[in-house]
């Protein structure tokens, strides 16, 4: 399926962004992996972070989500300073995450996996309503509601993970390399799904992606990290057309 670039939206002030990462330094023990990273995501945007291995992409996610302590700088979300909040607090604030490594429970059914995604909700009627909503978004999951998750294809399992991330009505979803471990054809289908969710329900997405070209092709804006620092940022189409970015990260001249 051919993908077309999303409509480029008018530039908005970072001060009005849903998520603001400001001059963040973070790392492990006494060593900073991130050295002054800044980025922002507006409501309704897909923003993609790319860069070589070791650039700090995953550390950005870990810092935002409270898995790595921020030593300097801050993270603001929906008007609140969430710097160094615990992961469960960040989930309750409205950010869900789709991890890079498979996170489905293989010996449980699709429906049971989705039920686990509603562990913060006690109202059984609400749980059922949200699961049925996910089934409306992903008819393939509805068809497999009683199938063991471990018997599904890699693309279907990734779809289940994305659906589970939507259950608590997050204001933003962070996706850590959604194409990881998937065949090229399935990768295109997953990226198409992400863009369709953005268009259909206004899903706000921040993702890091090793497949830089395809990640940028479905995004509104992007950031390039190298050695823990921002090196390029801008509209995704501008980054795709930038000769330096193309040469270094997209395999083209």
Crossing angle for the helix pair 124-137 and 184-201, to the nearest 10 degrees: 120
Query: What digits encode the pLDDT tens for the residues 111-141?
Result: 999 999 888 788 899 999 999 999 999 999 9
Query: What digits encode the pLDDT tens for the residues 199-213?
Result: 999 999 999 998 899
Query: What digits encode the pLDDT tens for the residues 212-246?
Result: 999 999 999 999 999 999 999 999 999 999 999 98
> 15 or 167: whose pLDDT is higher?
167
Confidence of residue 15 (pLDDT cuts 50, 70, 90): confident
What is the model's pLDDT at position 217? Answer: 95
Counting Cβ atoms within 10 Å, is residue 74 exposed (0-12), middle (13-18) or buried (19+)? middle
Is 12 a residue whose pLDDT tops 80? no
Task: Specify the range with the lowest mean pLDDT, choosing from 7-21, 57-71, 119-133.
Answer: 7-21
What is the model's pLDDT at position 100? Answer: 84
Q: In Å, how far are 6, 74, 89, 154, 210 from 167, measured between CA atoms?
A: 25, 28, 16, 20, 26
Domain ranges for the chain = 16-94+172-253, 103-169
- Taking residues 160-175, report their average pLDDT: 95
Confidence of residue 65 (pLDDT cuts 50, 70, 90): very high
Average pLDDT, the chain: 91
What is the model's pLDDT at position 102? Answer: 79
What is the model's pLDDT at position 181? Answer: 83
Rg (CA), the chain: 18
What is the distance between the alpha carbons of residues 176 and 183, in angstroms, rounded to a whole number?
17
- Taking residues 156-176, report their average pLDDT: 94
Of the CATH numbers 1.50.10.10, 3.40.50.300, 3.40.50.360, 3.30.2350.10, which one belongs to the domain with range 16-94+172-253? 3.40.50.300
Instruction: Look up the pTM and report it.
Output: 0.89
Q: Where would I find the beta strands (DSSP E) of the chain?
A: 19-28, 31-41, 46-50, 70-77, 80-81, 95-98, 172-176, 205-208, 221-226, 229-235
Is 5 a residue whose pLDDT tops 80? no
Is 251 a residue whose pLDDT tops 70? no
What is the model's pLDDT at position 253? Answer: 52
């Amino acid at each position: 399926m051919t993908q077309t670039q999303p409509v480029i939206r008018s530039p908005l002030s970072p001060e009005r962004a849903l998520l603001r990462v400001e001059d963040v330094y973070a790392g492990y023990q006494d060593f900073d992996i991130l050295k002054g990273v800044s980025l922002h995501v507006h409501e309704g945007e897909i923003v993609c972070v790319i860069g070589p291995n070791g650039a700090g992409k995953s550390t950005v996610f870990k810092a935002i989500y409270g898995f790595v302590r921020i030593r300097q700088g801050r993270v603001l979300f929906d008007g609140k300073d969430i710097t160094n909040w615990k992961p469960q607090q960040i989930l309750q604030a409205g950010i869900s995450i789709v991890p890079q490594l498979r996170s489905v429970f293989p010996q449980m059914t699709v429906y049971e996996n989705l039920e686990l995604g509603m562990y913060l909700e006690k109202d059984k009627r609400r749980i059922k309503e949200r699961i049925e909503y996910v089934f409306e978004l992903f008819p393939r999951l509805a068809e497999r509601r009683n199938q063991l998750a471990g018997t599904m294809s890699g693309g279907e399992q990734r779809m289940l993970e994305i659906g589970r991330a939507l259950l608590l009505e997050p204001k933003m979803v962070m996706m850590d390399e959604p194409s990881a471990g998937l065949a090229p054809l399935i990768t295109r289908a997953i990226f198409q799904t992400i863009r369709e969710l953005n268009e259909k329900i206004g899903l706000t997405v921040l993702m890091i992606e090793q497949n830089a070209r395809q990640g940028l092709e479905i995004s509104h804006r992007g950031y390039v990290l190298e050695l823990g620092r921002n090196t390029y940022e801008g509209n995704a189409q501008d980054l795709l057309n930038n000769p330096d970015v193309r040469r270094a990260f997209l395999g083209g001249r």
